[in-house]
Structure 1
Amino acid sequence: MKVVVAMDSFKGSCSAFEAGEAIKKGILNVRADAEVLNLPISDGGEGLIEALEQPLSLDNFKKNTLEVTGAYGEKTSCAFMSNTHSAVLEMAQSCGIWKYDRAKLDARETTTYGLGQTVAYALQHGIRFFKIGLGGSATNDGGAGFAQALGAKFYDKDHALLPSPIKSKDLAKIAFVDMSDFNQDVLSSDFIGTCDVTNPLLGENGATYIFGKQKGASPEVLQELENGMKNYAKVLTDYFHKDCADIAGAGAAGGMGAALMFFCNAKLQSGIDTVLDLLKFDEKLKGSNLVIVGEGRMDGQSINGKAPVGVSMRAQKQGIPAIAICGSHTDDAKALYNCNIQAMFSICDGPMTLEHSIKNAEKLIEKTAENTIRVYCLK
């Protein structure tokens, strides 16, 4: 029996690798002779470096760590992978929401400046091909901080230079942008943004209204941030003579998708497909009897480019069923049954607090995996 375990992270409790190892233990508790392949994955956002570090190292990539500006202006450690000419970056490494206490989040005070610093460092060291994983960010600045770190200057209506690092709340003040000192190496480089969402930059399905609440924005603050984002988008559209706001994925990572297209002429592509290709997933899947996928929460939106569905659809092409193990799943998650996910199991086996499930996630995952395999082996 061969089982491929391809888990995304359970945010706030355990990494994709740790979740996969817990499932592996649960499987081996039932079938000690099983071949279990733990392939931690990411949808292109948080966990990208963890998922790709080992396979990329086989292609002469190395892991780099540097100190950059975090989402709230503090100093933070950031890791990325690179070889002599290419780099893979994970936005959540510099400004990920996982770094902060969710009870203290305030989207107005956030910046992507650290991501721009990371790109500037890579450019300085000769990198000209970039894949940047978008997602899992605490930010909603439309990538203005990113651009600022690369040399863009933003001014208000009185021609006063806005301070660095610029924050999400400052977007409403921007009257025009000056690109005269922008890093010219960006223009001779190739950028690809990988993301798991198709949201536009603006509107009820845009960056602010869909993702702002989880980043610490009240309904009143959401309106404030949306107004700022509209102003920022207009300034960039007028300057670059192109409108990226309505392109699918522009709203990814608090508008970072739009920034990559405006400032870097980037292309956006599916994060999970990029990760699976880099992992040579289809090859490793051959001969499997079952695939186990999952993440912290599965709902109707998981169908839109999320890692579990990306994996299950790859498995379907080889006639291999998938089962999901997750922290929780909502009523509308039943749509995933049309995506080769045959069943979904929550790790919560009784009444429990969120704190308890987070603290005991690995044990609960192992127990759920054991029961899942016991049922699977009945057939």
Structure 2
Amino acid sequence: MDTETHLNNDSPEEDVWDNVWLFIKATIMGSIIIASIFGNLLVIVSVMRHRKLRIITNYYVISLALADMLVAMFAMSFNASVEISGRWLFSYTLCDVWNSLDVYFSTVSILHLCNISIDRYYAICKPLKYSMHMTKKVVAMMLVNTWVSPAFLSFLPIFMGWYTTTENQMFRNEHPDICKFVVNKYYAVISSSISFWIPGSIMIVMYLLIFKEANRQEKEMFNRHGAAMLLHANNTNGDMLSNSGGSSKTLTLHEINQDLHHTPTRERSISRMKREHKAARTLGIIMGIFILCWLPFFLWYDSVSLCTTCKCPDIVVAVLFWIGYFNSTLNPIIYAYFNKDFREAFKNTLQCTFCSLCQRPPSDLNYIDQRRPSMRYEDRTRSVFSETYLKHNVDRRSSEFGSTL
């Protein structure tokens, strides 16, 4: 009698805690889905509205944002329904559709990031070949391949039943209301290699080469500028090139002017290099976070598939899935935090979105570069004609040049 009374007293409390946990879980999952959809939609709209963001690299960014948004709409939403309700609410066929879309969009996302790493490698390490190789036609072909090829890894084997074991296929036929993604060893190795391990390895190699080359370029530019300053100081004191011919002296003075006088051509070159390096850092952070989000999942995925006796609690599996899904929400946040152009574009787009009477045209984002004092161009003009002015401002220019890198 006492035992029954004890159980009856505990039952309402357990129901309350179950409802609280269900509410927390639904709130977290719903927030991730909504943030992912609207965040990635903001990326797409911002790039379409602002001309300055319409560069080749951002074609990959738009396509990646579309893939991440579709992950939230189709993969996350189905998973959330299972986690909240505790069972599969849809048909037997929709279970295969969900599993296919989950594998498909995850693979599409990492292939986009792999393409971006290759694009950045050519832009920074092989800049002379970049414009010849990375044309709009080549980028379009890469994007088409990125969207088409994962279908042969997801839809085809899943709908044909090649992905799973015989036991799980029989279980599914007997329990159509249960939707679990159980794979065989062969599919686990092939799918994880194509979806994660091979592209992830390529990305790591590309970015190691990129950062190595970026550091080399910055050191070379600092060394060249320092040498030019020294040559100019010696030339001003009459101690330089005393034994040199006229043509050599003219060439050296030209190099000095190129390094010390911030000509428009040199300014564009420095500005372009800075943009490339900053874009590489931002995209490197995106890729690093992608690997950190999906690495735990793929480690679990391969270990459980290859080890038939290994078991994992359902709560751990759900957490691993949603850590991977959360990557689709993080990418727009990374753009806004680390990239000034995207940050200003987001701000401009949101201002015009939430202001119903706003007739403001899309910003060209050029005012970001104009925030530097306009006196710098006047200084460059004066320095061409005034050797005394240049002599007194070499140290200041050196600090400005270093700070821009």
TM-score (norm. length: structure 1): 0.30
TM-score (norm. length: structure 2): 0.28
| Bigger RCO (CA 8 Å, 6+ sep) | 2
Would you tell me which structure has more strand in proportion to its own residues? Answer: 1
Would you tell me which structure has more helix in proportion to its own residues? Answer: 2
Q: In terms of Rg, which structure is larger?
A: 2
